Homo-oligomer: A and B are copies of this chain.
Amino acid sequence: MTIRVLHVGLGPIGCAVARQVTARKGFRIVGAVDIDPHLGGRDVGVIADIGRPLRIKVTADLRKTVKATKPDIAVLCTSSSLKEVMPQLEELLELRVPVISTTEELAYPAMHNRRLAKHIDELARKAKVAVLGTGVNPGFMMDALPIALTAACEHVNRVEVRRVQDARSRRLAFQQKIGAGLTKEQFDRQVATGQVRHVGFTESIQMIADALGWTLTRITDDVRPWIAEEDVESELLAVDSGYVCGISQEGVGYIGDEVKIRLQLDAYLGARESYDSVLIDGSPRIYSKVHGGIHGDVATASITVNAIPLVINAPPGLRTMRDMPLPSFFGAR
């Protein structure tokens, strides 16, 4: 049985998902929607750099495209913000289409989004389909994976996750997103307006806390710049010493004054070692490290594609990576 996939949003992540969907067995792209007028009418194969036309043209009309293409799943990659994707989610659920999305705030309903999450859950149950927000982070490296590791513990005091990434090998948009090349003042302004920030720490922290049965009293999420100590350059960008070369973001979940969960993301040009580590401070103490780290864009697209069959088979409602069956690679040729 071939899974009929509708793409909603063909930015870098949407395109990466489309490439994988095309390359894997068991899937077929049947439609694509994007509000960008530059994309309208163009072939998905060309936009997503698939190397051949797919004879699927991008449209701007979600409703019409769903009705014409009858997708088994919609892949929603338009925004990090739950509020921003709400109209698209509502429309898809009204049309009874299961949804998988890389919207970071959908990965787990954080406190400030509880009302929206409840609304989505109700719509999904009514439509008898599942909705899942996923990706490598949030969705895996800083929540699902550390949560799974705690299964080996008889008690857990604290969970610490650290991702260190040398951003030189990442795409330009990512290098810009982490503020590379800005002055400290420009960086601080972009942090204030929310332009420079990884979205999802609050969601990951909440997911871990709920899994472990912890009632947190406070969650913090702070962004600081990495300042280049010497000139550093990627193939795409050069940063002089004294300028910002990346981001250091720390999210902490407290019970009272006690740090129970600490997530740290250091993404900057010139990091000496890339890795993703998890420390479960408990019994037994578990220190796990992915040497070299996991490439964010590829992994987010991979997890999204791999979770599609899980979403199609999941019970109706807003699901999370916590209550899904074990994810795994899907689509061997």
Interface residues of A (CB under 8 A from B): 20, 23-24, 136, 140-141, 144-145, 147-156, 211-214, 282-292, 294-295, 298-299, 301-303, 305-307, 321-332
Chain B residue with the shortest CB-CB distance to A295: B284
Interface residue from B212, B283, B307, B329 paired with A153 (Cβ < 8 Å): B329
Besides the contacts A144-B326, A287-B292, A288-B290, what 15 more A-B pairs have beta carbons closer than 8 Å?
A20-B154, A23-B154, A24-B154, A140-B152, A144-B148, A145-B149, A151-B302, A152-B299, A152-B303, A153-B299, A212-B328, A282-B329, A322-B325, A324-B326, A326-B326
**How far, in whole Å, are A214 and B328 apart by their CA atoms in the complex?**
12
The distance from the CB of A162 to the nearest CB of chain B, in whole angstroms, is 14
**How far, in whole Å, are A295 and B153 apart by their CA atoms in the complex?**
10
Chain B residue with the shortest CB-CB distance to A136: B152
| Contact between chains at A151 and B303 (CB < 8 Å) | yes
- Chain A contact residues, majority secondary structure: mixed
User: In the complex where A151-B140, A324-B325, A327-B151 touch, is A291 in contact with B289 (Cβ < 8 A)?
Assistant: yes
**How far, in whole Å, are A330 and B141 apart by their CA atoms in the complex?**
20
Closest 5 CB pairs of A and B: A151-B327, A213-B332, A150-B329, A152-B299, A211-B328
**How far, in whole Å, are A148 and B329 apart by their CA atoms in the complex?**
8
| Contact between chains at B292 and A328 (CB < 8 Å) | no
| Contact between chains at B287 and A287 (CB < 8 Å) | no
A332 CB contacts on chain B under 8 angstroms: 155-156, 212-214
A144 CB contacts on chain B under 8 angstroms: 148, 326
A24, A283, A284 — which one has the most chain B CB atoms within 10 A of its CB? A284
The distance from the CB of A75 to the nearest CB of chain B, in whole angstroms, is 15
The distance from the CB of A288 to the nearest CB of chain B, in whole angstroms, is 5
The distance from the CB of A213 to the nearest CB of chain B, in whole angstroms, is 4
**How far, in whole Å, are A232 and B127 apart by their CA atoms in the complex?**
65
A selection of 11 A-B contacts at a CB cut-off of 8 Å is A147-B326, A150-B328, A151-B302, A151-B306, A153-B302, A155-B332, A211-B326, A284-B298, A287-B290, A288-B290, A289-B291
A305 CB contacts on chain B under 8 angstroms: 154
Chain B residue with the shortest CB-CB distance to A321: B326
User: In the complex where A151-B302, A327-B151, A328-B212 touch, is A289 in contact with B289 (Cβ < 8 A)?
Assistant: yes
